[in-house]
């Protein structure tokens, strides 16, 4: 059976799910590792999420296709901007609001990356959401969550397999408790 010029070729959902799992996992491992090793998210990770989410927001807003979840996606993609505006606007001496901003920033770092990739995947491959069974979507989410948890644990236990010199050579600061060479 051949497809005519007006018939798009759809990617098989398992292949699309694999691409999304790999993309999300590649994006989430470093923030999870840094949280484990240093106990914080680095500013560049959160700002990277902001840039990607803002770009995805532009795609969602200016896309001309019918999308019943458009407003929900736009609202989710605005969360990193909300964090950024609050981080700039709130007085550094306001401890109670700074705790909220820190929690929002951490959530943006961990959840914003996979959420942004998920939204982009749904835009690029609409069948990803419709033709992918719930069980496979749960496998995608569980796989990315497992990578994030293991990356965090690797960060917590970095001294078992990395030296202080490894961090220094890579251009990172030495995390607390690193093992000398």
Q: How far apart are alpha carbons 63 and 57 in whole angstroms?
A: 10
The CA distances from residue 129 to 1, 7, 75, in Å, are 26, 20, 18
Q: How far apart are CA 93 and CA 30, in angstroms?
A: 30
- Specify the 3-state DSSP secondary structure of 138: helix
The whole-chain average pLDDT of the chain stands at: 82
Q: Supply 174's token pair.
A: 């030495």
Per the DSSP assignment, residues forming a β-bridge with 163 are 179
Q: Could you report the per-residue pLDDT of 94-126, keeping only the tens digit for each?
A: 788 888 888 887 777 777 777 777 777 777 666
Q: What six digits make up the tokens of 134?
A: 């719930």
Residue 122 C-beta-side C-alpha neighbours within 13 Å: 20
User: Could you tell me the two tokens for 82?
Assistant: 């909300």
pLDDT (mean) for 145-158:
95
Nearest to 24 by CA among 126, 139, 129, 130: 139
Q: pLDDT digits over 7-63, tens only?
A: 554 545 567 778 878 888 888 898 889 999 999 888 888 888 889 889 888 988 888
Q: pLDDT at position 90, please?
A: 83
At residue 62's C-alpha, the angle toward residues 28 and 104, to 5°, is 35
- CB atoms under 10 Å from CB of 164, counted, come to 17
Contact at 8 Å (CB) between 87 and 101?
A: yes
């Amino acid at each position: 059976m051949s497809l005519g010029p007006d018939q798009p070729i759809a990617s098989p959902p398992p292949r699309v799910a694999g691409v999304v799992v790999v993309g999300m996992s590649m994006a989430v491992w470093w923030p999870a590792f840094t949280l484990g090793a240093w106990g914080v998210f680095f500013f560049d990770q959160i700002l990277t999420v902001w840039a990607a989410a803002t770009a995805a927001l532009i795609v969602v807003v200016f896309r001309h296709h019918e999308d019943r979840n458009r407003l929900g996606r736009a609202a989710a993609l605005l969360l990193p901007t909300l964090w950024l505006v609050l981080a700039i606007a709130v007085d550094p001496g306001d401890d109670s609001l700074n705790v909220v901003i820190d929690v929002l920033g951490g959530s943006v770092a961990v959840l914003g990356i996979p959420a942004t990739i998920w939204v982009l995947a749904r835009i690029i491959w609409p069948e990803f959401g419709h033709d992918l069974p719930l069980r496979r979507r749960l496998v995608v989410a569980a796989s990315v969550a497992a990578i994030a948890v293991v990356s965090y644990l690797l960060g917590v236990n970095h001294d078992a397999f990395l030296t202080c010199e490894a961090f220094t050579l890579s251009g990172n600061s030495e995390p607390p408790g690193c093992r000398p060479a």
